[in-house]
Copies of this chain bind each other. A is one copy, B any other.
């Protein structure tokens, strides 16, 4: 914990995925990219912290610029200092008297904060020689509570309420850990139904995924509604009545349009509708949730911060909360979101995919189960089988379940050869 951060390296890493149609939905067609940071330290063994935020290709240089603008808040700091005053450190990034204007706490500047904050947690987990999920799950309640910035959410959860949830999470801890060690963490797959795929590819991928053991699958909707219905029927035919079929509209609908279209799609018994409308529209999500029940409304992958999540919960707008590991300000802010979800009794199903998001969120879901939500009921981590090969400690799955990460850190470290090959614009892939 005496290691000092001596430099912050920022890399613009981009994978040319757009051409293949992977990851294309109603509004995104991306080259999956990472604003990837490594925190160099004075540790004699060269230990460094790795973190990133995920972007969609063009504009990754903007989040890189933001990470560089924030980096001075880390330089010269020791892990011990940061861990002693975690909220003070977090606010040095999120409440910088000049940079805050660029958010506040949203978009580019907040995503860069997420990359840096996550890198600090990766560094700490490596220094303490355990995977991040274990580091978090074994922290005393008071240290976890001290890591959360309750500013602007005290009307939804207080430090005392958070402590009570975390203390309760100590009961049955060993049993839950044994369950995960034995069975892994439930997940679902999004690789079957991208909008860029033709019907026969959707059918073939669905059949293949089902054969591999997946019993929960997500398709993209938000194209012409007749096409959405046709593709949904194909998937439902393939998976039978019992497997879960989730739908994701990626915000393309207006509120009334979402309600009408889900009326059409209800025939295939969707489990949830994700991002039915604009991500900022708390009241709209609440109206949709009331209208489409018992289909659950899910959202969160572009929810800007804990204040948006707070309102989604207060307004009973979501039946599934989809946290993202690096859209918000990193582990510290995710803690606040997990705690609010537990208080409001809403299951957390993290957003993943892109590049490295599966690697990140498995730790958060596992921690949530061990210490916060303390249940697997309705919990699943998204899984997409893309780009894991670029990570030093990639996710491992078995029959549709994530296996517990074992290496120290937050599984965020990219292979040096991948960084070199995919660096933009000078790596060989892009030259």
Complex CA distance for A257 and B109, rounded to whole angstroms:
27
A97 to chain B: which residues have CB within 8 Å?
A: 27-30, 56
Are the CB atoms of B55 and A101 closer together than 8 Å?
Answer: yes
Are the CB atoms of A152 and B281 closer together than 8 Å?
Answer: yes
**Beta-carbon contacts under 8 Å, A22-71 to B:** 27-31, 55-59, 61-63, 65-66, 69
Q: Which of B31, B63, B69, B254 contacts A154 (CB 8 A)?
A: B254
Complex CA distance for A256 and B109, rounded to whole angstroms:
28
Binary contact readout A281-294 vs B (1 if CB under 8 angstroms, 0 otherwise):
11110010000000
Q: Which of B103, B105, B302, B314 contacts A283 (CB 8 A)?
A: B314
A102 on the B face (CB < 8 A): yes
Are the CB atoms of A152 and B27 closer together than 8 Å?
Answer: no
Given contacts A62-B108, A66-B62, A101-B55, contact A283 B304 (CB under 8 A): no
A205 on the B face (CB < 8 A): no
Are the CB atoms of B106 and A251 closer together than 8 Å?
Answer: no
Which residue of B is nearest A54, CB measured? B101
Binary contact readout A256-282 vs B (1 if CB under 8 angstroms, 0 otherwise):
110000000000000000000111111
A277 to chain B: which residues have CB within 8 Å?
A: 152
Are the CB atoms of B109 and A281 closer together than 8 Å?
Answer: no
Which residue of B is nearest A95, CB measured? B27
Distance (Å) between the CB of A155 and the closest chain B CB? 4
Number of copies of this chain in the oligomer? Answer: 2
Are the CB atoms of A304 and B106 closer together than 8 Å?
Answer: yes
| Size range of the chain A interface in the assembly | 35 or more
Are the CB atoms of A280 and B305 closer together than 8 Å?
Answer: yes
Which residue of B is nearest A153, CB measured? B254
A287 to chain B: which residues have CB within 8 Å?
A: 155
Q: Which of B27, B151, B315 contacts A100 (CB 8 A)?
A: B27
Which residue of B is nearest A63, CB measured? B102
Given contacts A108-B108, A152-B278, contact A98 B29 (CB under 8 A): yes
Which residue of B is nearest A310, CB measured? B281
Binary contact readout A206-242 vs B (1 if CB under 8 angstroms, 0 otherwise):
0000000000000000000000000000000000000
Are the CB atoms of B62 and A109 closer together than 8 Å?
Answer: yes
Which residue of B is nearest A254, CB measured? B154
A151 to chain B: which residues have CB within 8 Å?
A: 254
Q: Which of B30, B108, B282, B302 contacts A98 (CB 8 A)?
A: B30
A129 on the B face (CB < 8 A): no
A295 on the B face (CB < 8 A): no
A-B contact pairs, 21 of them (CB 8 A): A27-B97, A28-B97, A31-B98, A56-B97, A58-B96, A58-B98, A58-B99, A59-B66, A59-B98, A61-B69, A62-B108, A104-B251, A107-B108, A151-B254, A152-B281, A154-B257, A155-B256, A280-B308, A281-B311, A282-B282, A282-B311
What 5 new A-B contacts, CB under 8 Å, besides A56-B98, A56-B101? A30-B101, A107-B107, A152-B281, A154-B255, A280-B307
Q: Which residues from chain A sit less than 8 Å from chain B, CB to CB?
A: 18, 27-31, 55-59, 61-63, 65-66, 69, 95-111, 151-155, 251, 254-257, 277-284, 287, 302, 304-305, 307-308, 310-311, 314-315
